[in-house]
């Protein structure tokens, strides 16, 4: 089976470059959910040997983006309603803890970097550069979360963040949705700047729930029910 063409990185010698190229193709939909990832085809597309590609596949399996079956090879994990709910429930819990701590200690340097990221995202969207917009979106959230000062908690969010990007892409087709996301980001940032932890957590949770709803309304309703049960048990 032919593999989707990948954009070869500028330097083609490391597993890290193979990892980034394959992940980018998955996140932008060039390699769709369920697609097989034969090593030889990937190596040929990237212009590198199979060793770094094999290592990249192992790393992508480790963060849950791929699944590898004996004698069948690697394929992109399916996108399902249950997976969508589980992914965003985990994000709400982990990133909620980070944004709470961030709001308690936010400073002007973090605020400036976060605003710059939002501006970069808007410029990229106007130019139709989805890859740059995705990177700027990540820069915004990660700037906020780094301000929490919790290295281990910050390092724990990578797998669910990358998996959620596969779903988030489907929520950005409508220009009106993009404007809503911008307002939500600005609200999160404002609460952090004003040192309002509870409000920042609520704004982040509403932001993530809105994203889920734009992808799958039933999933959003189920996720809200799970959150209500969790809060009621505490």
In a domain, 157, yes or no: yes
DSSP annotation string for 192-233: HHTT-HHHHHHHHHHHHHHHHHHH-HHHHHHHHHHHHHHHHH
Number of domains, the chain: 2
Residue 192 counted as domain residue: yes
Choose the final residue of a domain: 33, 60, 76: 76
Q: Do 30 and 90 lie in a common domain?
A: no
**143 and 218 within one domain:** yes
Residues 124 and 196 in one domain: yes
CATH number of the domain that residue 56 is part of: 1.10.10.10
Q: Considering the entire predicted model, what is its pTM? A: 0.87
List per-residue pLDDT tens for the chain, 234 residues long.
455 556 655 554 578 899 999 999 998 888 999 999 999 999 999 988 999 999 999 999 999 999 998 888 999 999 999 999 999 999 999 999 999 999 999 999 999 999 999 999 999 999 989 889 999 999 999 999 999 999 999 999 999 999 999 998 766 666 778 888 999 999 999 999 999 999 999 999 999 999 999 999 999 999 999 999 877 665
> Could you tell me if 51 and 158 are in contact, meaning their C-beta atoms sit under 8 angstroms apart?
no
Q: Is residue 85 domain-resident?
A: yes
Residue 131 within any structural domain of the chain: yes
Predicted local distance difference test score (pLDDT) of residue 172: 67
Per-residue pLDDT at 168: 86
- 21 and 110, same domain (yes or no): no
> Do residue 206 and residue 140 come from a single domain?
yes
209 lies in the same domain as 125: yes
Q: Tell whether 4 is covered by a domain.
A: no
Are 46 and 100 within one domain?
A: no
Q: In whole angstroms, what is the distance from residue 43 CA to residue 83 CA?
A: 29
In degrees and rounded to multiples of 5, residue 23 shows phi and psi of -60, -45
Euclidean distance between CA atoms 68 and 76, whole angstroms: 9
Domain's final residue, options 34, 57, 76? 76
135 & 30 share domain: no
35 and 90 belong to one structural domain: no
- Residues 218 and 166 occupy one common structural domain: yes
User: Could you tell me if 69 and 136 lie in one domain?
Assistant: no
219 in a domain, yes or no?
yes
Judge whether 49 lies within some domain: yes
Contacts of 158 (CB under 8 A, 6+ apart): 63
Are 71 and 113 contained in the same domain? no
Q: Does some domain include residue 1?
A: no
**Spatial distance between the Cα atoms of 85 and 159, rounded to a whole number of angstroms:** 14
SS3 assignment, position 67 = strand
What CATH number does residue 98 fall under? 1.20.120.530
Last residue of a domain, one of 28, 48, 76: 76
Contacts of 160 (CB under 8 A, 6+ apart): 87, 90, 91, 94
Domain that holds residue 22: 15-76
């Amino acid at each position: 089976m032919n593999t989707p063409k990948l954009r070869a990185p500028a330097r083609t010698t490391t597993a890290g470059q193979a990892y980034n190229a394959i992940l980018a193709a998955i996140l932008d939909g060039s390699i769709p959910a369920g697609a097989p990832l034969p090593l030889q085809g990937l190596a040929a597309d990237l212009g590198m040997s199979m060793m770094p590609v094999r290592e990249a596949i192992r790393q992508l399996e480790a963060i849950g983006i791929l699944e590898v079956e004996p004698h069948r090879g690697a394929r992109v994990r399916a996108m399902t309603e249950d997976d969508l709910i589980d992914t965003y429930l985990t994000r709400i819990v982990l990133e909620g803890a980070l944004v709470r701590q961030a709001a308690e200690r936010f400073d002007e340097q973090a605020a400036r970097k976060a605003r710059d990221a939002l501006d970069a995202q808007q410029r990229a969207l106007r130019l139709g550069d989805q890859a740059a917009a995705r990177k700027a979106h990540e820069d915004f959230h990660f700037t906020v979360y780094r301000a929490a000062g919790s290295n281990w908690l910050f390092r724990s969010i990578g797998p669910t963040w990358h998996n959620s990007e596969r779903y988030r892409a489907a929520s950005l087709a409508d220009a009106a949705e993009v404007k809503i996301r911008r307002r939500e980001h600005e609200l999160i940032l404002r609460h952090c700047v004003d040192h309002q932890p509870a409000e920042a957590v609520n704004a982040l949770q509403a932001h993530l729930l809105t994203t889920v709803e734009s992808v799958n309304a039933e999933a959003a309703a189920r996720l809200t029910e799970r959150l209500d049960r969790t809060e009621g048990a505490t």
